[in-house]
Structure 1
Amino acid sequence: MIAFAGLSQAQAPVRSGGSLPVLGDTSELPASAERRLGDRIASSIYRDPDYLDDPVLGDYLQSIWQPLMTAARARGELGVELEERFAWEVMLIRNRTINAFALPGGYLGVHLGLIAVVESRDELASVLAHELSHVTQRHISRLMSKQSQQMPWVLAAMILGMMAASKNADAANAAIAGGQAIAVQNQLNFSRDMEREADRVGFGVMADAGFEKQGFATMFDKLQQASRLNDNGSYPYLRSHPLTTERIGDAKGRLQLEGPAPPSVSGEGGRARVVHAMMAARARVLGDASVDALRLLLAEAQRVPSSAAESLKPRDAGALYAGALAAARLREHTQARSLTDKLKTAAAGSPSMANALELLSLEIDIAAGRAAQAPKLVTGNSRAAVLLQSQADLAVGRPQDVSDRLQSWVSTHPKDAMAWQLLATAQGQQGQTLRAIRADAESRVAQLDYGAARDRFKAAQDLMRSGRDTGSGASAHIDGSIIDTRAREIDQLLREQALQEKLDR
């Protein structure tokens, strides 16, 4: 979690429904202003090399995130205005440190290191619920309203500095700007009152969402053990969320006071741990794709006995999944398919496990150049299925299928940058240059890079004026009208940004 400044406890109004009192929203910062600040920081993260858009892990995070959002809404923690104005987007960061953070405007970041180390979806849900509660309780905006107007830029530098720290200490120091920023960071820790409130509200949200409440306490135990054994900077979540005996005791005490949880959101019992182990393994592979690391993961998978598939344990499932993905990246495709087949023998009766392995098999076929022989995905409604199937179709020269699929997808998911990029490729392969440029522009809009988007829309307008590659008839007129409208909208956004930056100085 990114550290924020402490704040004295405000008067605590009591929520309806008999729930415990909260600190109260004493923020002077409107939700719209907070969202603008979050957008500024998020746009920098999107352009950072460590930002990762992995559809498979993204879908897994969403399977946890969406029940938490639903529970927060039902409990009255998430109001209509906040839900409409904020982004509520979870971003993956290719970083092996154990960390998660909340940004202004409803952006949350999750490091691959966190996914790799937690042992269940319930533990991961406990972290996301805690971060979600920092946002819904307006902790960030209340603190920022007390700080200088320069705080967004300091915050952005700190975030980017932490992302750079795992690669190059000098780059991190440059981003954080030395001792002055360190002093600021020390002033930005969440107050103890806010940490306690995020624990309490997050615990209730997690429980109401159907996750095992024990995950909250076991996550605390894991972090407490890490704080004793490791003090080399690998656990930034510990430094920004200092564990106290009181907080740990509160978490364990709630387990005794709370009633039984609703039915599990996974619906598959022990298989949910197996699926989590595979997603944690994926995070490990994506977090360190060096040849040496991949070789170690492949060797570990090869040591799993064939008999283990009959009663697959989470640890063995994770090892086999990591080994298969590592083998594909090492171009040892026969080995990758062999390890995947071992996992498939244990997938009977688990739709989520079968779906994960179907996606993995398609990834391996694409990497091996066998996409033409790969069967169409059976479960094709998820984002991962839509995008992976599109990648496979592009690899074998079926751009029309990709265009048909993604035109429908982006109409309901207009902020999906990867979908727009794949659509641009498909349209380019069909000679639809104007539409390809427009799709490329929309991908820049989705990542909040409005300057680059405006350049692409301008290129499309120039192409229309030249009369080249624009088609004819009604379709060309419609395409031109859309491009002109979008160009004007982006121009307006850029003017508003420039005005806001001038006011902030």
Structure 2
Amino acid sequence: MAIAQSALPMMGDGAEMTSSAERRLGDGIIRELYRDPDYIDDAVLQEYVQQLFNPLVQAARARGELSPELEERFAWAILLGRDRTVNAFALPGGYFGVHLGLIAVVGTRDELASVLAHELSHVTQRHIARLMAQQGRQTPLMLGAMILGALAASKSPGAAQALMVGGQALAVQNQLNFSRDMEREADRVGFGLMQPAGFAPQGFVAMFDKLQQANRINDNGSWPYLRSHPLTTQRIADMHSRIPQDATPLASASLEQLMMAARARVLMRPGVDTWRQWVAEPQDAGFAARPRPQRVAAWYAAALSAVQLADPAAARQALRGLQGEVAGDAAAARQARLLGAELELAAGDAPAALSYLEGSLALADASQPDAPRRRPELLLRTQALLRTGSAAGMTAPLQTWLATHPGDATAWQALAQVWQQQGQPLRAVRAEAEAQVARYDYAAAVDRFKAGQDLARRGGAANDHIEASIIDTRLRAVQSLLKEQTAER
């Protein structure tokens, strides 16, 4: 069913804004979002969403929607927000935001993939660059302020008004929404990515139907995705018409998907009373008669809610119930083990956390048998070993991970802790600086690199000439980036 890009009518190439300029604009916006209290780097949910997103990017490349230049210059990074609203958005430079509220309500991985495919297509089709061209080359500062204001609107209309009361900013907000033509194009291109990426195209239709139903029953603005992506009868009918009559029916939700939806609901911080209700839910009369998927989601929510409530006994009890339900499902069983490790770390029992991680199939690596290959295991194992005072073995796995994921600030911070525990303060300071670079906070990074220089000058245990040379080189590079960042402001 592959269709060459040239066979699809395009709306223009957004040539009035270069890909480099768009990436710089995105970097500036994303630096602010990293500071947002609602930003959450949850390794489990991040990995789950990323595993859906990566095949879509590969499909866009294979179909010719994603040019080599754009793939190289853009970030293709997803940020998660604790926001309870059902929303996702695309930002300049290949950045994407996903609210936990969206993960919490989607019924299947195909529905979530359809939203990601739609947002990805906004970026591959250069819709943001086109908007800027259409609106008379709005300055990056105005666009950035408008996007941040739109994000605030999903949390608090009052806060959004406070952000956008100045002069032209309120008018600019109205220019954020993509045109209906752009929405239809993102639908069409995104739909074409689904099957090549391994997802059921019916996920698009199912998600549209869910959003349209929400539109009928919600008139209080609680579904911002409907406001920024207005669903018309024509768009819905178009998606329905693209499903082949002999298409395989949409699969039901996997146990892992249900567990991730439950995790999103808990981490949205609904409040102590809600957490307590979820902890108590498996004790309800008739719970055992519920369908297995419902029991799995309830046990997971109960265990994680108990962790939030600092009740390890209740958490362990719920985890035992969960483990019994997911036996035989490899993906779900892995998520139960990760939750067990998280639970025991919160309870202060690092050896017990390690026992859960040792049982994970994700730990197998031909070159380094003890090195986790997947990020949740990597970070959890590092934290557990740090608490036992024996994290030296995590140095190589973390460095290997960072060689291919240099923008992972959390991994840099973990490496800094490992080096500090090994009596390598100079390397620890450099890792702390690199974590700031990964968040585009170049001023903070420069401060840490200079602290490293001071430490190197004092000599002693910190007298590592190679590391000092690396710090000098990185400091000059980041100072240049800071100068450019300051000029762009």
Sequence identity percentage: 56
Q: Does 1:117 align with 2:105?
A: yes
Q: Distance in 2 between matches of 1:463 and 1:34?
A: 38
1:362 to 326, 341, 346: 341
2:57 to 69, 74, 81: 69
1:38 to 9, 23, 26: 26
Q: Distance in 2 between matches of 1:499 and 1:184?
A: 23
Q: In terms of mean alpha carbon deviation, does 406-415 or 295-304 score higher?
A: 295-304
Amino acid at match of 2:304: L
Q: 1 or 2 for the larger relative contact order (CA 8 Å, sep ≥6)?
A: 1
Partners of 1:366 and 1:395 within 8 A in 2: no
In structure 1, stretches of 5+ residues that fail to align are: 1-14
Partners of 1:27 and 1:143 within 8 A in 2: no
Amino acid at match of 1:351: A
- Name the counterpart of 2:295: 316
Partners of 2:288 and 2:295 within 8 A in 1: no
- Name the counterpart of 2:260: 279
Structure 2 CA distance for partners of 1:169 and 1:429, relative to 1, 3 Å? farther
Q: Distance in 2 between matches of 1:22 and 1:260?
A: 27
Amino acid at match of 1:79: S
SS of 2:427 mapped into structure 1: helix
Q: Distance in 1 between matches of 2:439 and 2:264?
A: 23
In structure 2, stretches of 5+ residues that fail to align are: 364-372
Amino acid at match of 1:114: L
CA shift, 1:170, in A, is: 4.3
Q: Does 1:252 align with 2:240?
A: yes
Q: Distance in 2 between matches of 1:122 and 1:287?
A: 22
Q: Does 1:333 align with 2:312?
A: yes
Q: Distance in 1 between matches of 2:448 and 2:430?
A: 7
Amino acid at match of 1:62: Q
Partners of 2:5 and 2:63 within 8 A in 1: no
CA shift, 1:496, in A, is: 2.6
Amino acid at match of 1:70: Q
Partners of 2:143 and 2:172 within 8 A in 1: no
1:382 to 374, 390, 409: 374
SS of 1:119 mapped into structure 2: coil
Structure 2 CA distance for partners of 1:166 and 1:34, relative to 1, 3 Å? closer
2:466 to 478, 481, 491: 478
Partners of 1:291 and 1:330 within 8 A in 2: yes
Aligned residues: 474
Partners of 1:420 and 1:439 within 8 A in 2: yes
Q: Distance in 1 between matches of 2:328 and 2:488?
A: 55
Structure 2 CA distance for partners of 1:244 and 1:444, relative to 1, 3 Å? same
Q: In terms of mean alpha carbon deviation, does 193-202 or 331-340 score higher?
A: 331-340
SS of 1:194 mapped into structure 2: helix
Q: In terms of mean alpha carbon deviation, does 451-460 or 24-33 score higher?
A: 24-33
SS of 1:331 mapped into structure 2: coil
The superposition leaves residues 164-200 of structure 1 with CA deviations (integer Å, 9 ceiling, x where unpaired) of: 4566554433223368533322233211111111000
SS of 1:372 mapped into structure 2: helix
Q: Does 1:98 align with 2:78?
A: no
Q: Distance in 1 between matches of 2:147 and 2:295?
A: 35
Amino acid at match of 1:279: M
Runs of 4+ in 1 over 6 A off after TM superposition: none
Query: Counterparts in 2 of 1:58-457, with a 5 A limit?
Result: 58-147=46-135, 150-165=138-153, 170-177=158-165, 180-256=168-244, 260=247, 273-288=254-269, 290-303=271-284, 307=288, 312-313=292-293, 315-374=294-353, 375=355, 376-377=357-358, 378=360, 379-380=362-363, 381-457=373-449
Q: Distance in 2 between matches of 1:151 and 1:237?
A: 25
Q: Does 1:464 align with 2:459?
A: no
Amino acid at match of 2:232: T
